[in-house]
């Protein structure tokens, strides 16, 4: 009985993490409980690991639900055209194009060193390309792969600093930051300095900072480094939320298992292969 209870609790948690709506999640858990009682089977034999079963459930209802409530893509938010970047006479990017509309997610993929981060930094306007333009309609939020936080400040002070750029009151910045952190299963009211946070938590801080000022375009450079599996799922749920609220999101990633859920895939290693041939 206790084995069942533990497994059912895990299932409920995993379902919620994957964004399955609360009512549906409760029903799935209750139905599984009834099944276990009726059949007398142990949960692992009947359903397998709670996380895996939750993933299957989320795929059959969550994905449909996600697609159903998803608004149609809006106006163009980001358009990179003919981006060329050379380092030491080597073309890192050779004529890369990318267009992302409001309510769309684009994934930038490719092997290490193929220029994914460089491309994102060019889109953010942090570095200049050798050729090409980036057209942006709206404000930009950028989350770097690492760095980007201030060692001797607390998480909430980071929020105040970022919110200050929008002329928000300190309390408003703090409250918004804490709320965004909570969606990543993180209590950001800690008095710990950023330098003492674990790598994964610091990346959560980075991610919250990027989204805090509610930018129209979010540029995320593999922000989930150091995340455990649950947080990784929370991260993608956050990406879907941003998309559903009409943001344009660009995610640099080397993980391919989420690609079926994004709208555009820009494969930079593919572009380079073309160049070699």
Partner 1 sequence: MRKLGVVADMTLREMLRRRGVLILLLALPLAFYVVRRNGYTGESIRALFLGLSWAISTAALFSASAGRAVEPRLRLSGYRSHHLYLGRLAALLVLGTGIAVPLLALVALDPAQDKVRTGGVALAMLLCVTVAAPFGLLVAALVPRELEGTLVLLVVVGMQMVVDPAGAGAKVMPFWSSREIGTYAVDHTGSGYLDRGLVHGVAFTLALALLVAVLSSYRLRTRSHMRFASGR
Partner 2 sequence: MLASGVVDQERRSQWLRGVLDMCVLAMVSGGESYGYHLVQAVEAAGLGPIKGGTLYPVLLRLESTGLVATDWRQGPSGPARKYYRITAAGQATLRQAVLDWQSFSSDVNAILQRGNAILQEGQST
> Burial letters for 33-72: b for 16+ Cβ neighbours within 10 Å, e otherwise?
beebeeeeeebeeebeebbebbbebbeebbeeebeeeeee
Q: In what order do the strands lie in the sheet with 104-109?
A: 140-143, 217-221, 248-252, 104-109, 264-267
Q: Rule CB under 8 A: say whether 135 interacts with partner 1.
A: yes
Q: Which of 1, 2, 23, 45 binds partner 2 (CB under 8 A)?
A: 45
> Scanning residues 11 to 40, which ones bind partner 2 (CB under 8 A)?
27-28, 30-32, 34-39
The Cα-based distances of 231 to 44, 108, 200, 207 in angstroms read 24, 21, 9, 12
β-strand partners of 108: 252, 266
Closer residue to partner 2 in complex, CB, 60/135:
60
Task: Pick the closer one to partner 1 by CB: 46 or 161.
Answer: 161
Q: Which long-range contacts (CB under 8 A, 24 or more apart) does 167-174 make?
A: 173/212
Structure tokens of 71? 């608004």
Q: Answer yes or no: are the C-beta atoms of 36 and 26 closer than 8 Å.
A: no
In the DSSP assignment, the letter for residue 194 is G
Q: How far apart are CA 238 and CA 180, in angstroms?
A: 9
Binding of partner 2 by 41 (CB under 8 A): yes
List 8, 32, 98, 209, residue binding partner 1 (CB under 8 A) = 209
Rule CB under 8 A: which of 49-78 touch partner 2? 53, 56-57, 59-61, 64-65
Does residue number 175 form part of the binding site for partner 1 (CB under 8 A)?
A: no
Tell whether residue 147 is a contact of partner 1 (CB under 8 A): yes
54, interface contact from partner 1, partner 2, none, CB < 5-8 Å by kind: none
Of 30 and 255, the one with the shorter C-beta distance to partner 2 is 30
Residues that bind partner 2 (CB under 8 A): 27-28, 30-32, 34-39, 41, 45-48, 53, 56-57, 59-61, 64-65
Residues that bind partner 1 (CB under 8 A): 122, 124-129, 132-142, 144, 147-153, 157, 160-162, 164-167, 170, 193, 209-210, 212-213, 215
């Amino acid at each position: 009985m206790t084995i069942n209870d533990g497994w059912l609790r895990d299932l409920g948690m995993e379902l919620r993490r994957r964004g399955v709506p609360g009512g549906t999640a409760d029903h799935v858990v209750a139905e599984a409980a009834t099944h276990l009682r009726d059949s007398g089977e142990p949960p692992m034999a009947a359903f397998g690991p709670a996380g895996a079963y939750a993933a299957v459930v989320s795929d059959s209802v969550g994905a449909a639900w996600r697609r159903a409530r998803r608004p149609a893509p809006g106006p163009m938010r980001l358009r990179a055209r003919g981006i060329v970047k050379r380092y030491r006479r080597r073309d890192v990017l050779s004529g890369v194009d990318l267009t992302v509309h409001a309510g769309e997610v684009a994934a930038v993929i490719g092997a290490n060193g193929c220029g994914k981060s460089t491309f994102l930094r060019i889109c953010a306007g942090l570095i200049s390309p050798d050729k090409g333009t980036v057209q942006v309609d709206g404000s930009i939020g950028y989350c770097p792969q690492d760095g980007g936080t201030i060692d001797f400040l607390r998480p909430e002070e980071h929020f105040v600093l970022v919110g200050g750029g929008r002329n928000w009151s300190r309390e408003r910045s703090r409250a918004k930051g804490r709320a965004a952190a909570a969606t990543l299963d993180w209590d950001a009211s800690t008095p710990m300095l950023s330098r003492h946070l674990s790598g994964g938590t610091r990346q959560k801080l980075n991610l919250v900072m990027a989204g805090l000022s509610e930018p129209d375009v979010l540029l995320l450079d593999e922000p989930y480094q150091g995340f455990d599996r649950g947080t990784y799922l929370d991260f993608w749920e956050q990406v879907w939320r941003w998309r559903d609220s009409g943001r344009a999101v660009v995610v640099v990633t080397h993980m391919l298992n989420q690609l079926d859920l994004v709208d555009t895939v820009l494969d930079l290693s593919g572009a380079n292969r073309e160049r070699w041939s």
